[in-house]
Chains A and B, each alone.
Chain A
């Protein structure tokens, strides 16, 4: 394909896009105007029924909790797949290829700023995770934010610091426990003779950190699972760089 053809195809596609874009922009509903019955209906009943002010998480972890359970196991399976593909087999001899130099090349100014950045990220992650039922956020977002902390340490400090945080076998167990406890919370409802994932815990006072029953608990479990999942994937990818050993071929 010649350069000229490529540009002409882009121009044609660009013209079509621009036409559709203008059409869509001119016909957008007024800002803040919601069309459709379901959002209004759920916004009216969710705070009363579930004592959760963040209706999105009330839907995710309660009204359609079974869907989210499936989504959580999608992440679990994906991490399992990555670890299976990149795993290091037991007993295969490795050869040292030289450790990556442990000295950080960053300026000391950046490294000084690393500590406050880690602190702020940690606090923000815990806040997002524990206030899932009150404000936008929840377990999944909190998990990703918290998992970013060791990588921040990796960038600012050195490989060794990252290895100390992530190389524990406990991370695997924590991930499995996080994923499993969601299912167990759901099954606990069955023991009490109500349908799967029914909100059986006391709902508490609307606006409290410990309110909305199952929703807050599931949110924390998902947060634990996602944090461990991202750390596991990160460690699996970086294993050779961290240990400075590669399997012999």
Chain B
């Protein structure tokens, strides 16, 4: 999660790579409770997130998206 880009940065990088028709959609909030399902997140980092991230952001710390683009 720490390496996730802002949507506009992701889109711009795809375009700079040469892709056309860049589309980012199917957006789903990805919160701490979602992250807790993943064994990749240790209990310690989940607890740290609960402590350091503002309550109103905890349900949407990141956004899960589908990104599509074409080589043409």
Q: Do A and B bind each other?
A: no
